[in-house]
């Protein structure tokens, strides 16, 4: 007598994705996490670098933004290639560029010019990893849990930024800032073999007849334009906070009588830990947008980050625990909508033009990230001392108003329904 067999139920992870795919997603996200270890090392050392090189706030902001400028401009040339060639080779090549540029920074950077050149190269390296990796993730989870999957990938991006800031701060308590930066850069080198092992069996998608060149016709899609605008305003807010919030925390500590050198280390370490809440932001935002829609979820998150922006700069004299609490809330809010825009453009774009769509998305989005820290740096340089931080963060808050008004004009469905599963008899 034949014994009936029961099919073993497929183990599924949060969002309904299979456990095997979840394991791959976590490994892919971990590769990005490791690559970005030195991402915030410059910001952690910024007070010391400003003093050593004699920089003002505008110049310091310019050096940071050079990284984003390298990312934005390179996106126009690198990302369309993913419509024609495998993301595997692009990702591994540019991961190597990112690692080398970060290793060279503590060795050769000693003024505005050398720092800008090396950070532009680092931005070039990141664009060839972050976005092709996101595309691979979006394609793998096209039928189920795409918002959560992209959100998880982006969550590791934010987690690495916070770890980079905090760990560099810890290292700076024992090492010179250049040595601390070098340790983080060398750790990032582990990402290259990780990328190779993860993607060695990855097969290139069909090119769809694409030439691999940038196609600006993707901007004819109204929903695409609005989500790119939202992403640009999000990036401006995000990088303003990443660059200038640690410096703001230094000002708060100095006002409370802490030595400036000690304040720089404490602000980097404590600020990094507080901003670690950003790590939970994108995956939560992605899950919410799968349920409630991309535009609606992004609008609510922008409202929260905007409210904190309008308040925090005026609270220098408030107790330190209050400031840290607001910093933690801020860190979550500025990150939670990040994956929503990237997920949305993969859904409204023509599949054969996704590389060009992501290129324009990244270029215009990160252009906001380039301009934001420089503008705020100029505000800090030109404003009266008594109101400079309140004014700087209030200008940041105004970005949320523009974003919400724009996003409320577009309506998109939540995550697309999963593709139907074929019965075994039809296989």
Q: What element of type H or E holds 199? A: helix 191-199
CATH architecture of the domain with range 19-199+216-416: Up-down Bundle (1.20)
What are the residue boundaries of the structural domains of the chain, listed by start?
Answer: 19-199+216-416
Confidence of residue 375 (pLDDT cuts 50, 70, 90): very high
Stretch among 24-33, 121-130, 157-166, 312-321 having the lowest mean pLDDT: 157-166
CA atoms within 13 Å, Cβ hemisphere of 10: 9
Q: Give yes or no for a contact between 92 and 192, defined as CB atoms under 8 angstroms apart.
A: yes
Q: Is the pLDDT of residue 272 over 50?
A: yes
Read off φ and ψ for residue 12, nearest 5 degrees: -120, 150
Model confidence pLDDT, tens digit, residues 157-188 = 878 887 898 899 899 999 999 999 999 999 99
Q: What element of type H or E holds 399? A: helix 388-407
Q: Is the pLDDT of residue 1 over 50?
A: no
Read off φ and ψ for residue 18, nearest 5 degrees: -70, 150
Q: Write down how long the chain is.
A: 427
Average pLDDT, the chain: 84
Residue 12, SS3? strand
Structure letter (DSSP) for residue 1? -
Query: In b/e form, how buried is each residue of 365-398, taking b as 16+ CB within 10 angstroms?
Result: bbbbbbbbbbbbbbbbeeeeeeebbbbbbbbbbe
Confidence of residue 422 (pLDDT cuts 50, 70, 90): very low
Residue 316, SS3? coil
- Give CA–CA dist 156/36, Å, rounded: 9
Q: Is the pLDDT of residue 327 over 50?
A: yes
Residue 419 CB burial class (10 angstroms; 0-12, 13-18, ≥19): exposed
- Give CA–CA dist 276/278, Å, rounded: 5
How far is C-alpha 353 from the chain's CA centre?
A: 23
Token pair of 114 as six digits: 């050398």
Confidence of residue 203 (pLDDT cuts 50, 70, 90): low
Residue 326, SS3? helix
- Give CA–CA dist 119/98, Å, rounded: 9
- Give CA–CA dist 24/22, Å, rounded: 5
Cα–Cα separations (whole angstroms), residue 217 to 54, 205, 309: 45, 22, 35
Q: Region 195-205: what's the mean pLDDT? A: 76
Q: What element of type H or E holds 48? A: helix 41-53
Token pair of 90 as six digits: 């692009």
> Across-strand partners of 18?
12
Task: Write down the pLDDT at residue 6.
Answer: 47
Task: Write down the pLDDT at residue 202.
Answer: 65
Q: Region 14-32: what's the mean pLDDT? A: 82
Q: Concatenate the DSSP letters of all residues of 168-186 into one string.
A: HHHHHTTS-HHHHHHHHHH
> Across-strand partners of 339?
none
CA atoms within 13 Å, Cβ hemisphere of 423: 2
Task: Write down the pLDDT at residue 367.
Answer: 86
Q: Which of 169, 377, 165 is nearest to 277 (CA)?
A: 165
Confidence of residue 13 (pLDDT cuts 50, 70, 90): low
Integer Rg of the chain from CA: 22
Q: Is the pLDDT of residue 139 over 80?
A: no
């Amino acid at each position: 007598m034949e014994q009936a067999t029961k099919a073993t139920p497929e183990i599924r992870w949060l969002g309904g994705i299979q456990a095997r795919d979840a394991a791959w997603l976590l490994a892919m996200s971990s590769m990005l996490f490791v690559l970005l270890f030195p991402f915030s090392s410059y910001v952690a050392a910024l007070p010391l670098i400003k003093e050593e090189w004699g920089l003002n706030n505008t110049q310091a902001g310019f050096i940071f933004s050079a990284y984003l400028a390298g990312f934005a401009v390179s996106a126009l040339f690198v990302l369309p290639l993913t419509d024609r060639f495998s993301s595997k080779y692009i990702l591994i090549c540019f991961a190597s560029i990112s690692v080398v540029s970060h290793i060279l920074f503590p060795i050769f950077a000693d003024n505005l010019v050398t720092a800008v050149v090396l950070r532009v190269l680092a931005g070039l390296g990141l664009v060839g990893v972050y976005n092709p990796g996101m595309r691979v993730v979006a394609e793998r989870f096209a039928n189920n849990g795409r918002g959560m999957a992209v959100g998880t990938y982006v969550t590791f991006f934010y987690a690495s930024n916070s770890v980079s800031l905090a760990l560099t701060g810890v290292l700076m308590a024992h090492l010179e800032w250049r040595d601390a930066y070098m340790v983080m850069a060398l750790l990032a080198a582990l990402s290259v073999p990780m990328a190779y092992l993860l993607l060695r069996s990855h097969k290139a998608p069909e090119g769809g007849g694409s030439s691999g060149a940038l196609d600006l016709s993707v901007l004819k899609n109204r929903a695409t334009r609005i989500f790119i605008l939202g992403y640009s305003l999000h990036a401006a807010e995000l990088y303003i906070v990443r660059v200038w919030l640690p410096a703001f925390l230094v000002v708060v500590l100095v006002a409370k009588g802490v030595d400036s050198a000690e304040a720089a280390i404490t602000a980097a370490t404590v600020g990094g830990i507080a901003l670690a809440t950003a790590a939970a932001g994108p995956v939560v935002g992605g899950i919410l947008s799968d349920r409630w829609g991309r535009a609606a979820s992004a609008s609510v998150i922008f409202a929260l980050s905007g409210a904190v922006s309008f308040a925090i700069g005026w609270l220098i004299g408030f107790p330190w625990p209050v400031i840290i609490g607001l910093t933690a809330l801020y860190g979550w809010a500025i990150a939670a909508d990040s994956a929503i825009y990237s997920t949305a453009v993969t859904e409204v774009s023509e599949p054969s033009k996704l590389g060009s769509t992501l290129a324009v998305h990244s270029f215009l989005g990160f252009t906001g990230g380039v301009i934001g820290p420089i503008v705020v740096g100029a505000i800090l340089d030109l404003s009266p001392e008594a109101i400079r931080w309140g004014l700087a963060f209030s200008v940041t808050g105004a970005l949320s108003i523009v974003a919400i008004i724009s996003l409320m004009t577009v309506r998109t469905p939540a995550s697309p329904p999963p593709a139907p599963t074929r019965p075994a008899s039809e296989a």
